[in-house]
Amino acid sequence: MENIYEFEENWWGNCANTFGEDSKHYVYATYMGLGIDWQYFTGAQGKRVLDIGGGPTSMLLKTSQLTSGKVVDPIRYPQWTKDRYALAGIEVEVKTGEEVDETGFDEVWIYNCLQHVIDPQLIIENAKRAAPVLRIFEWINIPPHEGHPHELTKATLDQWIGQQGQWGRLNVSTIPNNNVNGGLFGEAYFGCFKHR
């Protein structure tokens, strides 16, 4: 299963141009129940937020007035990405979501992550221990393929989370004239879940 992470690391490359993913964050945020004020996400002011699988360009970088933020991701991205997080006051730890043992956060964010992992159910369980609020956006009903060993469904995510999430079909272009790599196309599962 380690080749999952190799696939993902190769996909990101040197992380010099993350605009395609960064632009998608603004769509994810809306579906996760966050607001947008110009270029920053709102709704997490004064909170401690853990981002599981946030990669080299977490949504936390686009969130203002956090009390603290932490990104957990298993890939060793270039040092400059960690330096950028440090400048923003965001902690980074290189480990899998399955190893998350944090507690005391206000929220956990997971987006476009669970298809890429070894045990998505365990990650949800870890997230629920870490914070009373889970914000999530995940693609569903996509058959497993290279780097994506899991087909997530609304039913399985509802079961793991213990609540009914929302779902819908997206057809959103985030980069003009680029319908392959610059958009959000397919069925998605999303919501803001309060479980304590």
For the chain, which domains are there? 2-194 (3.40.50.150)
Q: What local confidence, expressed as pLDDT, does residue 20 receive? A: 82
3 state SS of 172 = strand
d(CA 188, CA 169) in angstroms, rounded, equals 6
Q: What is the mean pLDDT of residues 134-156?
A: 91
Q: What local confidence, expressed as pLDDT, does residue 127 receive? A: 98
d(CA 56, CA 18) in angstroms, rounded, equals 8
User: Could you give the count of Cα atoms lying within 13 Å of 89 in the half-sphere of its Cβ?
Assistant: 10
Q: What is the mean pLDDT of residues 84-105?
A: 97
Q: What local confidence, expressed as pLDDT, does residue 182 receive? A: 54
